[in-house]
Structure 1
């Protein structure tokens, strides 16, 4: 796959490829417990894309999805890894998704709530990570319940407990990890949404750049790269998205 020099320049206005990495989603990225260096599926994809362009990679690390989105939207980063959302699409050109992730609800063990469709009720308070995909989604979908926002996705359960809220919403794997040793909390069965994780770049970089990034994602899915990265990093419960139409 030969990439035109103009496209390479569009991706690297500072001379390097700056990739926004969100450590707030453990399915996509994590910090090494010893070195602190970021790793994960999104880091692997960023490295592969930099190699494809033949340029140096610089990782720009954030602790929340909203900050990562802002960095790419404001052109402080050249590519990023996000859940597709129409609000974010105002300034970011998304590829098709490469990974599908489930969004789940968490409640106390003694909560009367048993089903996802019971959550949108007057008087209930739902905690989400500020600026996350499920914050954007639930802000549109919930008509009766009140939304409370935690600073980041990893602090949702902490905020849920501190605020004595009724429901916490987030990435299923993050919530499962948070309650692993707690018998007083449980997940509602099923899911309230499927989060489509994609790559993206600023729309200002042009249609050719967006098309190249989209083609790269399709190749990484078809070649098995994404599936192998999920396996290598021990990610359970997330699947490779189907090929784009």
Structure 2
């Protein structure tokens, strides 16, 4: 696959002269802050590689939640971002195909009567989600009876779940597992409730050629092994490279 770069495409990605990449630290599978406070991770590596291909400098615009990261791209305060695909977000953002797949799971207390996903959507249950996250958007559509409580961010879901004495915490499997190991007395339900498709995106107002260039870029990053190598380099467990489109 050959990526054909034109001046118009470069200008569409870099209206300020730099490639501004919106980075969400709320999902540590994709990005995290190192000991020096610098953003690292798969999404940071992809942003740097795209900037290299464009012949531009990358500028990281870092946020602590997915919702804020999405808003930055939708408002054109950033030129690209890394998000889970969702129809609501798709109103303002042109998505590529997924480059990484992540599983969303439910977490409950060890003595909870809940054992299956089908039992979660009941009137007596309160489900904690990260505000504005992909699984918040999904469960807001899917849960008809349970009450949704929104934690400030994805990394605070389990803490909010415990503080509120809620019935269920929902989130990325790896984050829930890590938090459960620290807290103790918690367990995951037996299967995922959703497959989270992590993609790249840019404002829909940018030209179609730029959107197609970004789609081809993602496919090349998957097929070349770049994404797989980045997952390994950052010691990411439990996420998989999405199939080629």
Normalising by structure 1, we get a TM-score of 0.98
Please list, as runs of the form range in 1=range in 2, the aligned pairs for 1:33-52 lying within 5 A after superposition. Answer: 34-52=35-53
Tell me what 1:6 maps to: 8
Q: How does 1:213-228 map to 2 (within 5 A)?
A: 213-228=214-229
Query: Which position in structure 1 is the counterpart of 2:205?
Result: 204
Query: Displacement, 1:123?
Result: 1.3
Question: C-alpha distance in 2, partners of 1:81/1:167?
Answer: 27
What residue number does 2:33 align with? 31
Aligned match of 1:86: 87
Q: Structure 1: any 5+ residue segments left out of the alignment?
A: none
Distance 1:75 1:142 in 2: 32
Offset, 1:156 = 0.5
Report the Cα distance in structure 2 between the residues aligned to 1:180 and 1:222, rounded to whole angstroms.
Answer: 35
| Deviating 4+ runs (over 6 angstroms) | none
For residues 105-116 of structure 1, the aligned pairs below 5 Å read 105-116=106-117
Partner of 2:230: 229
In structure 2, how many angstroms separate the alpha carbons of the residues matched to 1:144 and 1:107?
18
Q: Distance in 2 between matches of 1:234 and 1:63?
A: 21
Alpha-carbon separation, structure 2, partners of 1:45 and 1:220: 8
> What's the CA shift for 1:117?
1.2
| Aligned-pair CA distance for 1:182 | 3.4
SS of aligned partner of 1:175: helix
Normalising by structure 2, report the TM-score.
0.98
Q: Deviations over 1:14-44 (max 9, x none)?
A: 1100000000001100000x21100000000
Match of 2:59 in 1: 58
SS state of the match for residue 181, structure 2?
coil
Distance in 2 separating the partners of 1:209 and 1:200: 10
Distance 1:225 1:206 in 2: 26
Map Cα deviations across residues 40-98 of structure 1 (whole Å, 9 max, x no partner): 00000000000010001000000000000000000000000000000000000000000
CA distance in 2, matches of 1:116, 1:182: 22
Matched, 1:125 2:116: no
* In 1: Cα distance, 2:30 partner to 2:46 partner: 10
- The structural deviation recorded for 1:114 is 0.4
